[in-house]
Amino acid sequence: MTELGFTPATDLAGALRRREIASRELLNHYLGRIERDNPALNAVVTLDEERARRQAWAADEAAARGELWGPLHGLPMTVKDSIETAGLRTTAGATELADHVPERDADAVARLRSAGAVIFGKTNLPTYAMDVQSYNPVFGTTNNPWDTARTPGGSSGGAAAALAAGLTGFELGSDIGGSIRNPAHFCGVFGLKPSYGIVPARGHIPGPPSTLTTADISVIGPMGRSADDLDLGLDVLAGPDPIASVAWRLDLPPPRADSLARYRLAAWLDDPYCPTDSDVLEVLAAAVDALRGNGAAVDERARPVELPAADRLFRQLLQGAVCNGYPRRVFDRLRDEAAAASPDDDSPRLRTARDITQRKRDWNSAHERRLQLASRWATFFRDHDVLLCPVTPTAAIPHDHAPDLDARTISVNGQHRPYWDQLTWAGLTGMAYLPAAVVPVGRTRQGLPVGLQVVAAHLEDRTAVDVARRIATVVGGFLPAVGAQQVSTSETSSGPSGPRSGT
């Protein structure tokens, strides 16, 4: 039964439909793996075991009668702890929400349940999803199953770690600055940041519980162990919200090509502005060479935009999207700092202060520049079907919980680089509302996973997923985390507690 835990959701859903396995059997398998392996990882932080057992039993009984609830009938899965689940605690890793039990599912969660999913737990994240590591004062630190001294990434780090370690069948994450893509890359799983707006985001924290506004750039999307899992997630999740569905439907176009050789690929694997570490670059370059060896045409000179300008714009728009989450006293202090500073002071701290406290007039100007860049992307995609690029400059980084996030650094080619360089390649595409899939393409010489970001034109999510699928047949693809069976609770400090009942 060990291999069952690492089976893609698509295959599990098929086995459940054919009654080759029971939902109760699969749920028991995941719960057993969580009891054994999760103490060392702290990926799953809340369980809804009793209700999940009832739902799994009902799913099995329905299947015996020939009734199927949908494409996820009876599939046990977990959900990132920033996405609201009715009757199941949703904390976003924040102490003030430690006992928050929503009365209503997020729209995306409701679609999963309507499709037959059995949601049995929640996975860890940084507080309010505001870091590229996954730790918080409520549940503590999540460890990467490939190396427990390293982070699984963030903010959907618990989700990626659970998938890599075989603790869940499927996952729902969210992404504003790489929060699906960064953990997928760090943990060796598949993830999709959908085109902005095609999956309803109501029920995501932040904003505060019951917020109806969708934050700019932010999306909800699927994570799994195959590209087919991402397609399955799109089938279930994509579409207008309940109000808009009165008037319109979503019909995503099919993939642009039917073979790898017919795709027009562009690759942008490194840039002086945000260098890729040589260990990661070696794996990415080998993947591109393998694609060429299998008949793909790859243009390594094409550039849709300039990375420095795109990154600067992304950071302004990102702070505009999240500024409401800052306490009033912090916002006021940053506003005063920005007002008192010299106009010539362009330090990172002052840029951040200005971006957080920017006026609506400034944001309007930034949004227009975003649309101008999006137009350039659209022109680029007339001649190229996808762009292949890094997710982030390094493989999984060691845990670093220094209180001042801006003072943290990462090591790239032996040099200290800004911690927030980890957002640059993800922001390049997210800011323009583009879909991007992550496909595992190998491991570094240290044995850490490396993912490749596959970016497609706006609303052409199926193309991004299809290219990821074809890449995985040539190089890489999901591999179970080698440390998932060996780690022990004595090797890590996983946090205040293991998973608890959240109902």
How confident is the model over 179-228, as pLDDT tens digits?
999 999 999 999 999 999 999 999 999 999 988 989 999 999 999 999 99
Cα–Cα distance, 339 to 354 (Å, whole number): 8
pLDDT in the model for residue 118: 98
- Same domain, yes or no: 337 and 401: no
Residue 166 CA to chain centroid, in angstroms?
17
Q: Which domain holds residue 340?
A: 307-368
Cα–Cα distance, 151 to 492 (Å, whole number): 12
Residue 184 CA to chain centroid, in angstroms?
6
Ranking 79-93, 286-300, 339-353, 443-457 by mean pLDDT, the lowest is: 339-353
Q: Is 80 among the catalytic positions?
A: yes
pLDDT in the model for residue 445: 97
pLDDT in the model for residue 498: 62
pLDDT in the model for residue 493: 40
- Same domain, yes or no: 73 and 119: yes
The residue to which tokens 């935009």 are assigned: 305
Which CA distances in Å does 355 have to 314, 317, 329, 334, 379? Answer: 10, 8, 16, 10, 29
- Same domain, yes or no: 85 and 219: yes
The residue-averaged pLDDT of 483-499 equals 45
The three-class DSSP label of residue 57 is: helix
Phi and psi (nearest 5°) for 178?
A: 110, 15
Phi and psi (nearest 5°) for 190?
A: -95, 145
pLDDT in the model for residue 483: 54
Residue 325 burial by CB count (10 A; 0-12/13-18/19+): exposed, middle or buried? middle
Report yes or no on 19 lying in a domain: yes
Q: Tell me if 23 sits within 8 A of 59, measured CB to CB.
A: yes
- Same domain, yes or no: 139 and 235: yes
Q: Is 122 among the catalytic positions?
A: no
Report yes or no on 89 lying in a domain: yes
Q: Is the peptide bond before 449 cis (omega within 30 degrees of 0)?
A: no
pLDDT in the model for residue 183: 98
Count of other CB atoms within 10 angstroms of residue 169: 32
- Same domain, yes or no: 26 and 120: yes
**pLDDT exceeds 90 at position 484:** no
- Same domain, yes or no: 252 and 345: no
**Number of structural domains the chain divides into:** 2
- Same domain, yes or no: 143 and 17: yes
Ranking 25-34, 198-207, 209-218, 479-488 by mean pLDDT, the lowest is: 479-488
- Same domain, yes or no: 340 and 462: no
Report yes or no on 499 lying in a domain: no
Report yes or no on 144 lying in a domain: yes
Cα–Cα distance, 406 to 92 (Å, whole number): 22
Label residue 70 left, alpha or beta by phi (over 0 means left) and psi (-120 to 50 means alpha). Answer: left
Active-site hit among 23, 82, 134, 155: 155
| Beta bridge mates, 175 | 219
**pLDDT exceeds 70 at position 140:** yes
Q: Tell me if 468 sits within 8 A of 190, measured CB to CB.
A: yes
- Same domain, yes or no: 25 and 105: yes
H-type alpha helices, 139-252: 157-164, 181-187, 227-237
Count of other CB atoms within 10 angstroms of residue 70: 17
Write out the H or E segment, with its range, that includes residue 122. strand 118-123
Nearest to 241 by CA among 79, 364, 114, 108: 108
Active-site hit among 23, 80, 134, 174: 80
Cα–Cα distance, 500 to 202 (Å, whole number): 25
Cα–Cα distance, 461 to 465 (Å, whole number): 6
- Same domain, yes or no: 393 and 475: yes
pLDDT in the model for residue 249: 94
The three-class DSSP label of residue 314 is: helix
Phi and psi (nearest 5°) for 57?
A: -60, -45
pLDDT in the model for residue 482: 63
Cα–Cα distance, 290 to 488 (Å, whole number): 37
Q: How confident is the model at residue 326 (pLDDT cuts 50, 70, 90)?
A: confident
The residue-averaged pLDDT of 257-269 equals 98
Report yes or no on 454 lying in a domain: yes
Ranking 89-98, 209-218, 366-375, 387-396 by mean pLDDT, the lowest is: 209-218
**pLDDT exceeds 50 at position 1:** no
Q: How confident is the model at residue 349 (pLDDT cuts 50, 70, 90)?
A: confident
pLDDT in the model for residue 352: 92
Threshold 0.85, pTM exceeds: yes
Q: What is the CATH number of the domain that holds 189?
A: 3.90.1300.10
Cα–Cα distance, 71 to 342 (Å, whole number): 58
Phi and psi (nearest 5°) for 425?
A: -70, -30
Q: Which two tokens stand for residue 129?
A: 């999803």
Write out the H or E segment, with its range, that includes residue 349. helix 348-356
- Same domain, yes or no: 100 and 20: yes
DSSP one-letter string for 389-442: EESSSSSSPBP---S-GGG-EEEETTEEEEGGGGGHHHHHHHTTT--EEEEEEE
The three-class DSSP label of residue 183 is: helix
Phi and psi (nearest 5°) for 58?
A: -65, -35
Report yes or no on 62 lying in a domain: yes
Write out the H or E segment, with its range, that includes residue 451. strand 449-456
Report yes or no on 120 lying in a domain: yes
- Sheet of 264-267: strand order equals 297-299, 264-267, 386-390, 449-456, 436-443, 190-193, 219-224, 171-175, 76-80, 118-123, 44-47, 500-501
Active-site hit among 134, 156, 179, 195: 179
Q: What is the pLDDT of residues 90-110, one digit of tens each?
A: 999 999 999 999 999 999 999
- Same domain, yes or no: 364 and 412: no
What is the rounded average pLDDT for all residues in the chain?
95
Q: Tell me if 206 sits within 8 A of 179, measured CB to CB.
A: no
Report yes or no on 280 lying in a domain: no
Count of other CB atoms within 10 angstroms of residue 41: 29
The residue-averaged pLDDT of 478-482 equals 87
Q: Which two tokens stand for residue 267?
A: 């690759």
